[in-house]
Each structure stands twice: as structure tokens, then as C-alpha cells.
Amino acid sequence: MRTPRGEYFLQGNEACVEGAMSSGVRFFAGYPITPSTEIAEGLAQRLKGTNGVFLQMEDEIACISAIIGASWGGTKSMTATSGPGFSLMQEAIGYAAMSETPIVIVNVMRGGPSTGQPTRASQGDVMQTKYGSHGDYQVIAFAPASVQEMFDLTIESFNYAEKYRVPAFLLSDAEVGHMRGLLSVPEQLKIVDRKEKGLKRADEAYDVPDDLVHPFPTFGKGHKAMVTGMTHAEDSRIEPEDVKTHQELVKRLSEKILKNRKDINKWELVSPGSKTMIISYGSAALGPKEVAAKDERVGLLRLKSLWPLPEEPIYEVANQCERILVCEMNLGMMYWPIKRVALEAGCKKVELLSKIGGEPPTPSDVRHKLRGMGAI
């Protein structure tokens, strides 16, 4: 049951639950972990009375395995976790990428490594999201910065997971997950369903060419689907020794995402054309946003999606400004790929404001850094 149109005052994690319900999630498996637990608790409530299933399992590996299995049953499936649980899921994330299984994984990031800071926000898992499983693969990841975006981007996570048959991530953090704020739910919501083998629909997913995203052979429909994490040919035949089969498969898995960056990436621009541009995301972008709103010398590119890397908006911003400040809650992660694109665009001054420990950078942290750079 989707969230009825209206205005709500909710916690970020609760808004994620509503986004999932509105996307049509029908299978959730989770294991308790701060600061994501409210999502499991919320879905335990909300899935009751639908034809959906809520399952608390023995560990996070079981959870992600179960949602992959459920997805092959044809249902929209999701799990939610945080750092330690996310680490446990890595092998299966690669499996989902290789087997092209649409699933949604919410990671409400907390301070790591290890058990770290269970109740404090961090952005330390952004690289793990893209590189945590072995081998070459691409995923889609969104970074919400408000209660509203916990709702909106949960829906986008489902939409893009379905459209591209890929694991999609909602990379939230303890700050956004636990903040309270307004959620406005419109009458019309854009919901995308996977392109099913043997079906024809006038749906967005059906616009993606078949050579990049193959139609999904749901189990139990006589397709004799063969799903495997091993290198396989177009007809699903296992060919683990064949060089060409491996090259074709793994390149296609990457290309279906990278070639569609423009369709996938989302961002917000504040004062484009400013001499100094801050590039940030999630709760780390809240301080910079306040600064950019008040100071005309400073603009902000807030990335709402992190993977695939939004190269186009970064390039454009870097091409027009004199200096860039990347602001994030880790010791410098997105900083490096952003800097690579900025250098290509001719912007040579790219600095990092990094803050760990659990508090997002404040406006005064940002101004202090900008002063040091000679930007204000």
C-alpha cells in the first residue's frame, strides 16, 4: 500500500519505509543494526496486510541472499543495514551485479572501520559501495540529504534497480536517517517496473535496448531461467574458461550503467557560475548549502547520486570555476574521482574539507576552510 498523498512529519528512516512501500516493495529481509533499524521496524509494520513478506534473518548475508532469491520470484525486494552489515553483504552484491538481479540496499552509514561509532553519521562507505565486492562491476547509488529525499530517492533506487537490473543503493547516514522533517507526497508517483521476458508494456524500462539490459525471466513462468554468478554466455550457459564470454559479459554489465549516466545521475546546483564551487553530498552538504545560500562568491554542486560518478555536472562546474572544495565525512573518498574530473576540465585547485567523528561540517567549518583557500 503506497503512502497516500499528503504532508507528513517523519524521521528520515520512516520516510525511506514510505518510499519503499510506495515503490511496491513486497519483500524485506533485515538484521537489526543502528542506525538503520527503524527501517526494518517500520516495514515489519507496513508490510502486514499486504501480500508482502517481512523477514528478520540470522545475519546480513542471509538477508541479501534472500532478497536476491525473492527478486527472482518477481517481487521488488530490499534490505537495510549499516557498516558492519554492509561489509558482510559484499560477496552477494557482486553476485547481484553478475546475475543482474534488481535489489535495493539501504546503508544508513555510521562511523567505521569496524564497530566504530554506531550512533554517529559518516560517509565512509561510499567507495565500498562501488568497489567492495571483487571484480569489475558498476552499481547505482543515491545520497539523500533530507527526509523528503529519503522518500524520493528510495523510489529512485527501486526505479533504477528495476530498469537496469542492477543492485541500487540508498547511501544515507545516521544524520539523515534520524533527522525529522517534512515529507510531501504527491498524487502521482513515477514507478518503474522491470522489463519482463515475454511481456510488452509501454514502460520506461522497456525503452532500454535489449543488448544492454536483457528482459528479466521471472521464475515460475516457464522460462527455464538459469541464474548464476559464474561467467555465462547469452544463453546462460556457464563458460568460466572462455576469454571472450567473460569480456563480453563483464563489459556489458559496466556499459549498461556507464553509457546511461545521463539518465541515472541526479544533482542540485546552487549559484552555478560562482568562482568557488563546493561539491558535496548527503548530510555533509547541509553546511555548504547554508554558506552558498548566503555568500554570492560561493556555489554548491550537491550530488544526489554518487555512482555511476556524475562526471558531466562535475566537469561543467569545474570548467567554469576557479576552485573547488570537496566536502565529505570521511578522510577523502569521493574527493579523488571528483578531482580527476576537475583536472580534466581544467580546474587545478581542488581541495578537501573532511570531517569525521560523527558531526557534519558546520557552516563555520566551511567558511573557515574557504578563508584558508582565499575564496572568501
From the number of C-beta atoms within 10 Å of its C-beta (0-12, 13-18, 19+), residue 4 rates as: exposed
Of residues 220, 241, 243, 244, which one binds another protein by CB under 8 A? 220
Can you tell me the distance from the alpha carbon of 265 to that of 348, in angstroms, rounded to the nearest whole number? 24
Of residues 2, 223, 275, 340, which one binds another protein by CB under 8 A? 223
Of residues 44, 127, 191, 225, which one binds another protein by CB under 8 A? 225
Q: Judged by CB under 8 A, which stretch of 3-11, 172-180, 191-199, 230-238 contacts another protein?
A: 230-238
The bridge status of strand 25-30 relative to strand 6-11 is unpaired
The least CB distance from residue 78 to another protein, in Å, is 11
- Does position 317 interact with another protein (CB under 8 A)? The reply is no
The least CB distance from residue 225 to another protein, in Å, is 5
- Candidates 257, 125, 176, 168; CA nearest to 13 is 176
Cell of 62: 542471509
The least CB distance from residue 93 to another protein, in Å, is 11
- Does position 189 interact with another protein (CB under 8 A)? The reply is no
Would you tell me how many other CB atoms lie within 10 Å of the CB of residue 374?
Answer: 10
- Does position 77 interact with another protein (CB under 8 A)? The reply is yes
Of residues 21, 39, 40, 70, which one binds another protein by CB under 8 A? 70
Angle between helices 60-72 and 90-99 (to 10 degrees): 10
The least CB distance from residue 53 to another protein, in Å, is 5
Phi and psi (nearest 5°) for 106? Answer: -100, 130
Q: Judged by CB under 8 A, which stretch of 23-31, 171-179, 242-250, 346-354 contacts another protein?
A: 23-31
Please say whether the beta carbons of 185 and 22 come within 8 A: yes
- Does position 1 interact with another protein (CB under 8 A)? The reply is no
Q: Judged by CB under 8 A, which stretch of 26-34, 177-185, 247-255, 338-346 contacts another protein?
A: 26-34
Angle between helices 286-294 and 363-372 (to 10 degrees): 70
Please say whether the beta carbons of 127 and 140 come within 8 A: no
- Does position 74 interact with another protein (CB under 8 A)? The reply is yes
Cell of 178: 534520524
Q: Judged by CB under 8 A, which stretch of 54-62, 190-198, 250-258, 351-359 contacts another protein?
A: 54-62
Of residues 31, 86, 95, 206, which one binds another protein by CB under 8 A? 95
- Does position 188 interact with another protein (CB under 8 A)? The reply is no
Smaller CB separation from another protein, 74 or 360: 74
Of residues 55, 166, 249, 318, which one binds another protein by CB under 8 A? 55
Q: In the block, which residue shows the cell 544508513?
A: 108
- Does position 69 interact with another protein (CB under 8 A)? The reply is yes
Cell of 186: 504527491
- Does position 53 interact with another protein (CB under 8 A)? The reply is yes
- Does position 204 interact with another protein (CB under 8 A)? The reply is no
Helices (H), 5-116: 12-23, 37-46, 60-72, 83-88, 90-99
Cis ω for the linkage preceding 35 (within 30 of 0):
yes
Q: Which residues contact 327 (CB under 8 A, 6 or more apart)?
A: 278, 279, 280, 284, 285, 287, 288, 352, 353, 354, 361, 366
- The contact set with another protein (CB under 8 A) reads 26-27, 29, 51, 53, 55, 57-59, 61-63, 65-75, 77, 91-92, 95, 217, 219-220, 222-230, 237-238
